[in-house]
Amino acid sequence: MGRDTLCPEVRQHGFSIDGGFAEYLKTPGVNLCKVPDHVSLESACILGDAVATSYHAITKRAQVRPGTTLALIGAGGVGLHALQMAKAAGGWVVAVDVSEARLDLARQLGADAVVDAKKGPFHEAVRQLTDGQGADVVLEFVGNEKTLPSSYQSVRRAGRLVFVGYTPQVPLPVMPHDLVRNELEIVGSRANTRQELQETMDLVARGRIQPIVDRVIPLAEVETAFDALREGRPLGRNVLAV
Helix/strand/coil (H/E/C) assignment for every residue in 136-178:
EEEEECCCCCCCHHHHHHCEEEEEEEEECCCCCCCCCCCCHHH
The answer as to whether 71 is a domain residue is yes
The answer as to whether 150 is a domain residue is yes
The answer as to whether 162 is a domain residue is yes
- Structural domain span for residue 134: 63-188
At residue 25, the pLDDT reads 81
At residue 122, the pLDDT reads 97
Number of helices followed by number of strands (H, E) in the chain:
9, 8
Rounded CA gap, 146 and 209, in Å? Answer: 30
The answer as to whether 3 is a domain residue is no
pLDDT digits (tens, 9 = 90+) for 80-96: 999 999 999 999 999 99
Q: How many domains does the chain contain in total?
A: 1
DSSP 66-125: TT-EEEEE--STTHHHHHHHHHHTT-EEEEEES-HHHHHHHHHTT-SEEEEGGGS-HHHH
Rounded CA gap, 186 and 158, in Å? Answer: 11
At residue 1, the pLDDT reads 84
The answer as to whether 159 is a domain residue is yes
User: What is the maximal distance between C-alpha atoms in the chain?
Assistant: 54
The answer as to whether 44 is a domain residue is no
pLDDT digits (tens, 9 = 90+) for 115-159: 999 998 999 999 999 999 999 999 999 999 999 999 999 999 999
Say if residue 46's pLDDT is above 80.
yes
Pairing outcome for strands 92-97 and 213-218:
unpaired
Give the dihedral sign, CA 146/147/148/151: positive
At residue 141, the pLDDT reads 97
pLDDT digits (tens, 9 = 90+) for 148-186: 999 999 999 999 999 999 999 999 989 999 999 999 999
Say if residue 9's pLDDT is above 90.
no
Torsion of CA 138, 141, 143, 149, to 10 degrees: -30
At residue 211, the pLDDT reads 97
Give the CATH number of the domain where residue 98 resides: 3.40.50.720
Say if residue 3's pLDDT is above 90.
no
For the chain, give the percent of residues with pLDDT over 90: 81
Say if residue 12's pLDDT is above 90.
no
The answer as to whether 84 is a domain residue is yes
The answer as to whether 209 is a domain residue is no
Rounded CA gap, 54 and 80, in Å? Answer: 9
